[in-house]
Structure 1
Amino acid sequence: MASVEVLEAKKYVSQRKKRTKKLWKYRSLIILALPGALLLFINNYLPMFGIFLAFKNLNYTDGILGSKWVGLDNFKFLFISNDAWMIIRHTLLYNVSFLIINTVLAILLALLLNEVKNRFLSKFFQSTVILPNFISMVIVGFIVYSFLNPELGFVNKFILEPMGREPINWYSTPEPWPYILTLVNAWKNVGYSAIVYLAAIIGIDPEYYEAAVIDGASRWKQMTKITVPLIAPVIIVLTLLAIGKIFNADFGLFYQATMASGMLKETTDVIDTYVYNALMVTGDTGLASSAGLLQSVVGFVLVISVNLVIRKFSKENALF
C-alpha cells in the first residue's frame, strides 16, 4: 500500500515538473499574453459581479450584497412599461435590417474590390471603405448634423432649396429616420465586413477560376458559383456573431446620430437608449442591469440555436 502511494506521489511530482517545464518554455508568450488577459478580466469578467443588481433594489448605503432582493421585479418593470414593446420592436427590426443589408452590401463590395487588379488602387479603395469604421460615433453624429441641419444643412440648402421645396426640420420629423439610420450604419460598418470577406476571397485557390475560364464561365458565374460558396463559412461566422447582438442596439448610432432628440423617439428609441434615459433620469440601476442581462441571455440563446440549425445541415460550416 505504501509503495503504491509512493509511486503516485512520484508520478504527481513528475507531471508537475513537466507542466512547470512547459510553462517555462513558453514564458515569453505567456508574458506577452498577460496584459491582454488582465484587460479581458477587468473589462469582461469583473463587471459580471453586477449581475446581482438585476435582482436587487440597490441601496448605496448597504452596497450590492447588502441590498434587498426583489426577484424578477426589475424585469417586470422593463416589460410592463408603456414603451416596452415599442423599443423591443425597434431594436429587433433595426438589427435585422442592418444584418441583411450590411451583409449583402459587404459581399458585393468585397467582390468589386477583388476585381481591382492595380495594387495601388486596390490598397487605396480598401483603406477608403474601412476608414468610417474607425471614426467615433460622436464625429459621425456631427457629420450627419452637417447634412441635416435645418438651416444650413447640405440636404436642405443644396438639394431641397434648388428644387423649390420647403426645408425639413429633420430632428423633429421621425418618419425618415429609419432610412437615415440604416444608411449611416451601412456607411460606417459595411467596409469592415467587406475587408474580412475580401481576405477570404483572396485565399481561394486560383485553380478554381482557371478551370472555370477553360469551361467558358463568365465573371458573374465565377463570382456566384465559386467565390460566394467558398466564402460561405466566413459569411456564416459573421452572421452568427451579428445574431448574437440582435437584441443590442448601437447606442452611439441611436443617441449621437439623432442628437438625442426627444421628438424622434417614436421611430428611434431602442432598448439601449431607453435604459440610458431611465438611468439618467431615475438612477434605476436595477432596470439597467436587468436589461443588460436580458440582452446577453437572448443573444446567447440565439447564437446557440442558429448554430444548431446550421450544424444540422452542414457541420463544416457551424461555428462550434
Structure 2
Amino acid sequence: MQKALRSLRRYWPLYLMLLPGTVYLIINNYIPMTGIVVAFKQYNARDGLYKSPNIGFKNFEFLFKTKDALLITRNTVLYNLVFIVLGAVLAISVAIILNEICSRRAKQVYQTFILIPFLISMVVVSYLVFAFLSNGSGFINNTILPALGKAPVSWYSEPKYWPFILILVNAWKTVGYNCILYYATICGIDHSLYEAAVMDGASRWQRIIYITLPCLKSTIIILTLMNLGNIFRSDFGLFYQVPMNSGSLLEVTNTIDTFVYRGLMQTNNIGMSSAAGVYQSIVGFILVFAANMVVRRIDSESSLF
C-alpha cells in the first residue's frame, strides 16, 4: 500500500494525463458490456433489458442453422486474410520506397500528399467506386472501355469481378494510413546502422533486407495481431454500401456483418444481432490470444502481452 502511495505521489502528473483516456475507455468500452445479456434474451422494449425472457443460446442458432452460414463465414475470413497480408505488404513497400527516394524535407511533403487522399477516400469511397463503375455514367464504361473497343460491363450484376474490386478498394482505403505507421517506425531506426552498412559495401536492397525489415518486425507483428482480432468482422461500408446492396452480388459480398444487418432489418431481432456481436468478439479474442502465444514462444519481446 505504501509503495503504491509513493508511486502515486511520484508519478501523479502521468496518472493525471492518463485519466481522460481511462474514463473514456470505461464509459465507451466497459460499461456497455453489461448489455451482453441481450444475446441470451428475447428482448422487447416493454419488459426492458433485464426483464425480457431468457432463451439461452437460441439467438446464436440464427447464425449457425441458416443455409448461408458457411458462405458468410467463408467470405468474412478469406477477405480479411487477403486484406491483412496484402495490406501489410503494400503498406511496408510504400513506406520503404518513401524512405528510400525522399530527402528528409521531401518526406514531410510526400507524407502529407499520401495521407490526405487516403483519409478523404475513407469517407467517400462508395461514391468514388460508383463514379467509376456506374452502368450509365461510370468512368470505366463511358471512357476506358470504349477507348479499348470493348462493350460496357454491368458491374453491379457481375459477381466475378467483385472479389478483385473489393480487395482493390480496401487497399486504397488502408494502405495510406498503415504506411505512415510503418514509415514512422523506419524514421526511428538509428541512421548509423545504414551508414555502417554502406561502409561495408551493402547495396540498397541488402540494407532493406538486413536492417529495415528486421527493425519493422515488432510493428508488423503488433498490427497483424490487432487485425486478427477483427478477422470475423468486416467493414460494413465496404461490403454493403460499395456494392450498393446489390442482390446479385450477395454470393461474393455477403459477410457476417451484412447478413446480420439484413436479418435485423427484416425481423427486428435485437437479440440475434447482439449474439452475432458476442460470437465475433469471442472468436476474435481467442485468435488474438492464440496468435500472441505463438509469437511469445518464438520471440517473447515481440508479443503483445
With structure 2 as the length reference, what TM-score do the two structures score? 0.93
Match of 1:158 in 2: 143
Residue 107 of structure 2 is matched in structure 1 by 122
Establish whether residue 79 from structure 1 lines up as the match of residue 73 from structure 2.
Answer: no
Compute the displacement of 1:164 (Å). 1.8
Deviations for 1:2-23, whole angstroms, at most 9, x for unmatched residues? Answer: xxxxxxxxxx8xx59x849946
Following superposition of structure 1 onto structure 2, how do residues 18-57 of structure 1 map, counting pairs within 5 Å?
A: 19=5, 22=8, 26=12, 33-57=18-42
How many residue pairs get matched?
Answer: 305
Match of 1:293 in 2: 278
- The amino acid of 1:162's aligned partner reads A
Structure 1 residues 119 and 214, CA gap change in structure 2 (3 angstroms): closer
Q: How does 1:136-155 map to 2 (within 5 A)?
A: 137=122, 139-155=124-140
Post-superposition shift, 1:123?
Answer: 1.8
Matched with 1:183 is 168
CA change 1:273–1:69 in 2 (3 A) is same
Q: How big is the shift at 1:66?
A: 0.7
1:27-52, CA deviations, whole angstroms, 9 ceiling, x for partnerless residues? Answer: x6655544433332232122212210
Secondary structure in structure 2 of the residue aligned to 1:76 = helix
Partner of 2:241: 256
Q: Deviations over 1:36-95 (max 9, x none)?
A: 333322321222122101111112211111111111111112111111110010000000
Q: Distance in 2 between matches of 1:216 and 1:32?
A: 47
> Match of 2:94?
109
- Tell me if the contact between 1:209 and 1:222 (Cα under 8 Å) persists in the aligned partners: yes
Greater shift in the superposed pair: 111-120 or 152-161: 111-120
Q: List runs of 5+ in structure 2 lacking aligned partners.
A: none
Report if aligned partners of 1:171, 1:258 keep a CA contact under 8 Å in 2: yes
Counterpart in 2 of 1:70?
55
CA distance in 1, matches of 2:292, 2:11: 37
User: CA separation in 2, counterparts of 1:205 and 1:268?
Assistant: 45
Cα shift at 1:247:
0.7
TM-superposed deviation, 1:160 = 0.8
Q: Does the C-alpha gap of structure 1 residues 208 and 33 become closer, same or farther in structure 2, counting only changes over 3 Å? A: closer
The equivalent of 2:257 in structure 1 is 272
Once residues 121 and 33 of structure 2 are traced to their aligned partners in structure 1, the CA distance between those partners, rounded to angstroms, is: 26
Tell me the equivalent position of 1:312. Answer: 297
- The residue that corresponds to 1:59 in the other structure is 44
Amino acid at match of 2:57: L
1:195-234 aligned at under 5 Å gives the runs 195-234=180-219
Alignment check: 8 A CA contact 2:44 2:52 kept = yes
Counterpart pick for 2:157 among 135, 158, 172: 172
Q: Structure 2 CA distance, aligned partners of 1:117 and 1:130?
A: 16
Q: Which of 221, 235, 243 pairs up with 2:228?
A: 243
Q: 2:119·2:177 contact (CA, 8 Å) conserved in 1?
A: no
C-alpha distance in 2 between matches for 1:110 and 1:211: 22
Partner Cα distance (1:62, 1:175) in 2:
47
Residue identity in the other structure for 2:256: I
Instruction: Give 3-state SS (helix, strand or coil) of 1:145's partner.
Output: helix
User: What amino acid sits opposite 2:279 in the alignment?
Assistant: L
User: Contact conserved, 1:138 with 1:252, CA < 8 A, in 2?
Assistant: no
Question: 1:217-254 CA deviation, whole Å, 9 max, x = no partner?
Answer: 11001001111011101110011111111111011211
Residue identity in the other structure for 2:240:
Y
Q: Distance in 2 between matches of 1:151 and 1:224?
A: 48
Q: Distance in 2 between matches of 1:29 and 1:233?
A: 26
3-state SS of 1:175 partner: helix
Identity of aligned residues (%): 48
- Runs of at least 5 residues in structure 1 that lack an aligned partner in the other structure: 1-11
Distance 1:56 1:97 in 2: 36
Deviations 1:117-138 (A, max 9, x none): 3344322221222224433655
Max Rg structure: 1
d(CA) in 2 for partners of 1:300, 1:204: 32
- CA distance, structure 2, for counterparts of residue 21 and residue 300 of structure 1: 32
